[in-house]
Amino acid sequence: MKNIHLLPTENPSRLWYNNLSDTDELLLSIVEVETSNNQHIYITSDEEIKDEDYCVHTNQSSIIKICEGEGKLMKGHLYLKKIILTTDQDLIADGVQSIDDEFLEWFVKNPSCEYIKTIRNKKLASKNIFDAKEGDLVFNNHGCGGIIQELSNDIRVHIVSENGEGYMETAITADNGIDTLIINNYKVYEYTDYKIIIPKQEEPKQYPIGGYAPGYYGCTCITCKKEFMGDKRAVQCEPCATEMINTKIVVNESEGYEIEKTKQETLEEAAENFANSKEWLNGGASNWVQFSFKKGADWQAERMYSEKEVIDILYSFHKEENSRVVFSLSGITKWFEQFKKK
Please give the residue that has the higher pLDDT: either 180 or 242: 242
Q: Please state the rounded mean pLDDT for residues 144-154.
A: 71
- pLDDT tens readout for residues 254-296: 655 555 555 555 666 666 666 666 555 554 444 555 566 666 6
The model's pTM is 0.55
Could you tell me the residue ranges of all domains in the chain? 4-115, 121-197, 202-264
The pLDDT value recorded for residue 64 is 92
The pLDDT value recorded for residue 319 is 61
Q: Which of 60-74, 156-170, 307-321 reaches the highest mean pLDDT?
A: 60-74
Please give the residue that has the higher pLDDT: either 246 or 108: 108
Asked if pLDDT for residue 335 goes beyond 70, the answer is no
CB 14 within 8 A of CB 87: yes
The pLDDT value recorded for residue 54 is 94
Asked whether the CA dihedral 173, 176, 180, 183 is positive or negative, the reply is negative
- pLDDT tens readout for residues 159-190: 777 666 666 665 654 444 445 555 557 788 99
Distance (Å, whole) CA 168 – CA 301: 56
CB 106 within 8 A of CB 91: no
Q: Which of 2.60.120, 2.60.40, 2.30.30, 3.30.70 is the CATH number of 121-197? A: 2.30.30
pLDDT range class, residue 19, cuts 50, 70, 90? confident
Report the share of the chain in percent with pLDDT over 70. 59
pLDDT range class, residue 206, cuts 50, 70, 90? confident
Count CB neighbours of 148 within 10 A: 22
Q: Which of 226-240, 294-308, 309-323 reaches the highest mean pLDDT?
A: 226-240
Please give the residue that has the higher pLDDT: either 198 or 248: 198
- pLDDT tens readout for residues 133-145: 888 888 877 777 7
- pLDDT tens readout for residues 68-123: 888 877 877 888 999 999 999 999 999 999 999 999 999 988 888 999 999 989 89
The pLDDT value recorded for residue 285 is 46
Asked if pLDDT for residue 150 goes beyond 60, the answer is yes
Burial of 9-36, coded b for 16+ CB within 10 Å and e otherwise, reads beeebbbbbeeeeeeeebbeeeeeeeeb
Please give the residue that has the higher pLDDT: either 207 or 294: 207
